[in-house]
Amino acid sequence: MFGALSRHFVGQRLSGEGHGTLAVNVLGSFVLGALTAGLTSDPTLLALVGTGFCGAFTTFSSFAFETVRLFERGKRRKAVANATINLVGALVAVGFGVLTASTISL
């Protein structure tokens, strides 16, 4: 529930064609990368934050819908850019999350 509320808050602050969705997907990917790289080894915390918060915070279906909607409206370049930035951004964010977690000693 907290993840979904956070996603709604970000979406309200970043209006525009997919900006909120991009932000939550990249930020959620960073958090998940950091968690799974060893920021915590507690399986309960991993499930709670990783599956619970990140699962409710990020939204692949909204990303897909927004990309298709851009194509349907004839904004093909924006659609391709949206798809590329979301996918590459999420992958890079996971990498930075892993890197960040590996430099933090808890």
55 belongs to an annotated ligand binding site: yes
Give the burial string for 1-24 (b: 16+ CB within 10 Å, else e).
Answer: eebeebbeebbeeeeebbebbbbb
Phi-psi region of 40 (alpha: psi -120 to 50; beta: other; left: phi over 0): beta
58 belongs to an annotated ligand binding site: yes
Give the list of residues 6+ apart from residue 68 with CB closer than 8 angstroms, or none.
79
| Residue stretches of the annotated binding site | 55, 58
| Residue stretches of the annotated binding site for Na(+) | 55, 58
